[in-house]
Amino acid sequence: MKTFVTQRQASQLLHNKFVVVLGGSVQRSMYKDLVLLLQRDQYLTLPQLKSKGELSFERDALVEGGRLGPMTNGTEYREVRQYRSDHHLLRFYFLTRIYSPYVESVLEDFRHGLKPDVIIVSSCVWDITRYGRECLEQYKENLHKFFGQIKTIVCHDCLILWTLAMPLGKKIKGGFLVPEISHLGPTVCYNIIEANLYSGRLADTYGLDVLDLHFQFRLSLQHRMPDGVHWDALAHRRISSLLLQHAADAWGVQLPHPLPLLAQGALQRQSPAQYEQNHFRSHNFDFAPSNREQQTSDPYWNHLSSPVTITITLHRLMVTTIEASQFPDIMVVMVVMVTGFQQLVAFTGHPGFLV
């Protein structure tokens, strides 16, 4: 990505929009950067990135939890923040699990209250570390529950954006990694690859948009903080730009060029066909495949339905395999390449597709 979205562009794009961010500490920093970007072209400071549960941040307000309640590193921690101006409304909910009684209460707020225009959501690291030996299988079940519920609650034109977990370091320390599970630290960076693969495919199957932040930042690890979990201010401004670019594509707005005047009407989401056309014309971003109806009884694995999807999947499998070890097993890489080639031939009917 060559340029960041500016304050003026962000303000116009989110004019009269209600944006909700759901997730953990990384998503809290995403929310904070959006709040700051809506006010001025500056980056988050290190204290702002590290703070949690503060009573106020850049004219927002702590609504629930945080310093109004117990400040813990437990799964019961809560934090709800809200920023409101004359033409913008942003809200953040801290989650430690993608589906739980607390998440059900949040969804009930959406069902009976103001409907969001944009929902940015991610939950992974807490889910696969803090809930016992069967946490990964429970995570998969909870994803089904959340994705099924959220689509029935929000308006049909709400942009629901599932963001995949960002790359973790091999040596990590963070609020979620309490001493009882410290032995999981060296393997979490690999576990999230499996979790990301599953959640991204499943989100697409349920009709959600997917932004693969793990892929986007696989070569930008210099912006990861020393704790191996969180990211610096430049990374978060890039995330904000990716999020807003994705929203602009969905609404038919060209960025980073000047936006249409707001007087021309409220921005509306494009049809799936229009969105897919814009999606495959974009060269600055690499998103997951756009939403479409699935023509299969298997909602997860039988997903490859276009040459573009196959190519992207093959590339990501190769990158994932190579990054999984400092000295990758060449045979494993070859198996991945051969498998991808077989899928290409099966789809096109002849190997000349690659020429």
| Residues 262-319: tens digit of each pLDDT | 333 444 454 544 544 443 333 333 333 333 333 333 333 344 344 444 444 444 554 4
Q: For the segment 208-225, what is each residue's pLDDT rounded down to a tens digit?
A: 999 999 999 999 999 999
Under 8 Å between Cβ of 79 and 28: yes
H helix count then E strand count, the chain: 11, 7
Among candidates 176, 243, 188, which has minimal Cα distance to 212?
243
Beta-carbon neighbour count of residue 104 at 10 Å?
12
- φ, ψ of residue 109 in degrees (nearest 5): -60, -40
Cβ burial 44-63 (10 Å sphere, 16+ → b, else e): beeebbeebbeeebeebebe
- φ, ψ of residue 312 in degrees (nearest 5): -60, -45
Predicted TM-score (pTM) of this structure: 0.74
Identify the band that residue 187 occupies on the pLDDT scale cut at 50, 70 and 90: confident
Q: Where does 38-177 have alpha helices with state H?
A: 46-50, 101-112, 135-153
> Rounded distance, CA 241 to CA 166, Å?
16
Q: 137-146, 151-160, 197-206, 318-327: lowest mean pLDDT where?
A: 318-327
